[in-house]
Amino acid sequence: MHRLQTIEQELSKKSTPEVRVGDTVEVHYLIKEGDKERVQLFIGTVIALKGRGIRRSVTVRRIVQGEGVERVFPLHNPRVKDIVSVRHGETRRAKLFFLRDRVGKKTRLREVFDEKDAGEGANADGEAQAPQA
């Protein structure tokens, strides 16, 4: 194994979150205010994934007071505590840069419901089942 690979293996996180382009995610990011540290949430849509291995990063976009805000989070950064996927959006592209030109409800993506996300109250088609008597 090369020296670079061993360094990457030591510095990388043991498990990275399963994130796809189009997902709405909550990024738990550790910020420093004065001499204190706290976790701040950044909730937005994943518009791009970039890199491989320890260099993997995710670009998240959200609208704040009518202005678009994008942040790039390296997945293996120790300041990124957790990335939680809130909902999965259906996309046909690898990069969603076209969302930069959209405002309001036009930025929403069609939601995809996985079988594991559907839970007990739905069948494989995602339709609600009648309660069993």
The arrangement of secondary structure in 15-102, i.e. its CATH architecture, is Roll (2.30)
Q: Quote the pTM value.
A: 0.77
Question: CA–CA separation, 15 vs 35, rounded Å?
Answer: 29
CB contact at 8 A, 80 and 72: no
Helix (H) or strand (E) holding 17: none
Structural domain spans, the chain: 15-102
Per-residue pLDDT of the chain in tens (133 residues, 90 and over written 9): 688 788 877 777 777 888 999 999 999 999 999 999 999 999 999 999 999 888 899 999 999 998 899 999 999 898 999 999 999 999 999 999 999 998 888 888 898 887 765 555 555 555 555 555 5
Strand partners, 83: 27
The beta strand positions in 1-133, using DSSP E, are 24-33, 36-50, 57-64, 67-74, 80-89, 111-112
